[in-house]
Amino acid sequence: MSQETEIPELGFLGLARYAWRQLTSMRTALILLMLMGVAAIPGSLIPQRITNPMAVRDFITQNPALSLWYDRLSLFDVYGSPWFSAIYILLFISLIGCVLPRSLEHFKAMRAQPPATPKNLARLEEYQKFDTDSQVLDRASTWFKQHRFRVLNEGQSLSAEKGYLRETGNLLFHLSLILILIGVSFGSLFGMKGDAIVNVGERFINVPTSYDTLSFGKLTGEKSLTPFQIHVDKFVAQYDPATNAPKDYTAWVTVTNDGVTRKETIKVNEPLTFGNTRVYLQANGYSPVVTVRDSKGDVAFQGPVPFLPQDGNLRSIGAIKVPDAIPQVGFVGSFVPTNSRSAGQGAISIFPELLDPKLLFSVWKGNLGLDSGVPQSVYRLDTTKLTKVGLGSVKPGETFTYPEGSITLETVVPWINLQVVEDPGKKYALVGGIVAVLGLLSSLYGRRRRIWIRVTSDGVEVAGLAKNGAPGLEAEIKNFLAALKGEK
Amino acid sequence: MQTTWAYTSNYFVYSAMALFTISFIAHAFETAFAVRAPEVADATQGNLLVKTLDYKRTEKTARIATAMMILGFLLLLAGVICRGISAKHVPWGNMYEFSITGALAFTGAYLAALRKYDLRWLGVFVSFSVLITLGTAITLLYRNSAPLVPALKSTWLVIHVTSAIISGGVFLLANVVAASYLYLERVESRGPRPAWLQRVPSLEVLDQLSYRLVAFVFPLWTFAVIAGAIWAESAWGRYWGWDPKETWAFITWVAYAAYLHARVTVGWRGRRAAWLCIFAGSTFLFNYVYVNVWGTGKHTYSGL
């Protein structure tokens, strides 16, 4: 029972050294690399909060029990989860531990002389022997210089080496991955992202209250917002009449920044740029412009109300809330730009442009609950405590009257969703990406090889060695020999 | 709107399919009829008759097979170009267009490799898989030629998708080679190769070849991913967002990176390397099929 196995004392330092060696070993790096690939998979199969928060919400309502476990395991936030972070942080530590010593070694090797000519050249690749002549070493030396070999002159022999670019590229590639990671983390710590719906004819001012959603990186805040204003002058969406698919979206805007006002356009692939901040055109829809009057005929509300598109033909839903009417009224509505009817669904839209717009709604009265402190969606109206007082539809210019008042659809304006993104880290990631490709190219296509030439009493010997069995040595030595024999 | 160009493109694709069919039959015929039963006296090993391959007899068929493949490639190229003209954009706006261009890239990769290596034994597989791809494309995936949705209107469409298609073609070729390796290894472990397999190069050559293909095209795939990120930055407001397509492109990249490390640094060869290669290639295929057909995310456009 009391027999204990003798464990050689490692000590803390020894243990740390052992752990470090294990972590930076190639095998560990390889396992971590594969693990990262595997760990990325669930995020593409399970809806993710960062890409599709709506789908996550639907999933949770449909599978509440399972979702609890998913949430505990961060499966709705795979790419920010502790386990995913653990894998890539370990991988990058392992990478640094592997690449930095190798970089030092390589730096030394690049400044060192090529190794001495081996004694027995005949055992090497592409061995050749021919009659000597007095100037052969001079010619060899010139040829090496022309072809940018590094040469060690040993009197009777030359040892030449070329192709350090292979390892240089390899190291650059791995270092650039670290740069990309720095760029990504920098962007997420100091960046911001926000969305704002802006009606055509309205102005967007870059302050927190203008946004519908807004999020900042951990190390930044509201003060970082670039001061600019965007007035949306006009927006045109073109659709293909045959397929109803969108062909082009263009927004014409007037931008004010640093006291300078200028006209610009925003398109899907052409955002506006203010330093590290860019403004994208991400979505569009329609805002019915309505006037709501109370029973005395006084205007209780007037203005555009953005409706949310539900399909490719922009059938949209929304809510109009009129807290200033007495009693308070609200409308649960659906808007169709090109009206038609289907047996199953009622009103549908058959084209995304405003060919035959129509607003359909039910009218509700009662306390809208806007002062209750419970946040409400602007697109939905909670009708559980309200009474329905009417059901109607209007086309532009038409008025619908109900006992408590009336609603007029004046006109319809488009809205656009401006997405504002600030990412100060992306330039580092871009540089990292470019260096990564260049590094890869030179590391995968580069060939490290050595060529030796020695003059002996009975002739000239030439031989070579290609590292990693790289092809092309044979042709190179052939060229070399041709130059030596003056055939060039 | 369906234009004359689109119809012309369809005719070209159908004709190319006919030629690939002939090429497939010729390749199969060549392999089958090159087998020669020995003269009874000379070549017995134990009780077994050792059959040999005699390609002299089928050289003409082999030439026909390759010629048909080249012609099919040219017709398919014409089909892809006409499709592009009809739609007024590079022909990879939807999955049909992506498939025919992918089949073109795959055939191109094979024909280009054929100039350097004697790969005619692969012809049966190549012509067959191209036929399957084109067949699925034109029956299941066909969509009328249409203008691009605004998000695709960018120079990056050409750069990003071209590099992704070429990488895919070469990755799949490497996969076919690695699969042949695994199959042959099993065959060889049970005894000498049957006659119809004698044409296929040695295991060592296959092993090297699949590595060379991957090493050759890995930088291009890296570039395709980075070009995609640059495009995403200007179209979607972020360069990387773990969209399903992006995630799987990343997984493919990681898998091939692991494969290259396993070979170069750890020294994996043979069966293990071949399996890893096939796994990496499958992630690419999965990305292509799953994410386009069933997936959600920003890479799905206008019904495939």
Each of the 304 residues of chain B gets a pLDDT tens digit; together they read 457 888 888 889 999 999 999 999 888 888 777 666 555 544 444 444 555 666 666 778 888 889 999 999 999 999 999 988 887 777 777 788 888 998 998 999 899 988 887 788 888 888 988 998 898 888 888 877 777 778 778 888 888 988 998 899 899 999 999 999 999 999 888 888 777 777 788 888 889 889 989 998 999 999 999 999 999 998 888 898 888 889 999 999 999 999 998 888 778 888 899 999 999 999 999 988 877 776 666 666 545 4
Query: Which among B174, B170, B95 is positioned nearest to B136, based on CA atoms?
Result: B95
Categorise residue B64: left if φ over 0, alpha if ψ from -120 to 50, beta otherwise.
alpha
- Distance from C-alpha of B144 to C-alpha of A380, rounded to nearest angstrom: 38
Residues from chain B that touch A193, judged by Cβ atoms under 8 A, are 237-238
Mutate to test the interface with A, among B1, B218, B254, B290 (most CBs of A within 10 A): B254
- Distance from C-alpha of A60 to C-alpha of A111, rounded to nearest angstrom: 61
The model's confidence at residue A235, banded by pLDDT at 50, 70 and 90, is very high
| Distance between first and last Cα of chain B | 18
- Each domain of chain A, given as residue ranges in start order, spans 12-105, 115-163+447-484, 187-284+419-434, 285-413
Is the separation of the CB atoms in A374 and A356 below 8 Å?
no
Other C-beta atoms lying within 10 Å of the C-beta of residue A486: 10
Q: What is the ipTM of this complex?
A: 0.83
**Domain A115-163+447-484 CATH superfamily:** Kinase associated domain 1, KA1 (3.30.310.80)
| Distance between first and last Cα of chain A | 84
Question: What is the helix (H) or strand (E) element at residue A363, kind and residue range?
Answer: strand A358-365
Question: What is the helix (H) or strand (E) element at residue A292, kind and residue range?
Answer: strand A277-294
Is the separation of the CB atoms in B227 and B205 below 8 Å?
no
Residue A440 is nearest to which of B156, B218, B240, comparing CB atoms?
B218
Q: Are strands A346-349 and A358-365 parallel, antiparallel or unpaired?
A: unpaired
Mutate to test the interface with A, among B242, B256, B265, B288 (most CBs of A within 10 A): B242
Enter the tokens of residue A334.
């659906």
Is the separation of the CB atoms in B153 and B93 below 8 Å?
no
The model's confidence at residue A49, banded by pLDDT at 50, 70 and 90, is confident
Residues from chain B that touch A44, judged by Cβ atoms under 8 A, are 242, 244, 247-248, 291, 295
High-pLDDT (> 70) share of chain A, %: 97
Residues present in chain B in total? 304
- Distance from C-alpha of B78 to C-alpha of A367, rounded to nearest angstrom: 68
- Distance from C-alpha of B264 to C-alpha of A470, rounded to nearest angstrom: 12
- Distance from C-alpha of B123 to C-alpha of A346, rounded to nearest angstrom: 57
Q: Alpha-carbon torsion B13, B18, B24, B27, what sign?
A: negative
Please judge whether B242 and A267 are an interchain contact, meaning their C-beta atoms are less than 8 angstroms apart: no
- Distance from C-alpha of B223 to C-alpha of B249, rounded to nearest angstrom: 12
> In Å, how far is B229's CA from the nearest CA of chain A?
9
- Identify residue B138 by its one-letter amino acid code: I
Count of A-B CB contacts under 8 Å: 129
Query: Which among B251, B222, B15 is positioned nearest to A33, based on CA atoms?
Result: B251
Give per-residue pLDDT as tens, A253-294. Answer: 999 988 899 999 999 889 999 888 999 998 899 999 999 999
> In Å, how far is A416's CA from the nearest CA of chain B?
15
Q: Dihedral of the CA atoms B204, B207, B208, B210 (nearest 10)?
A: 150
A267 reaches B (C-beta below 8 A): yes
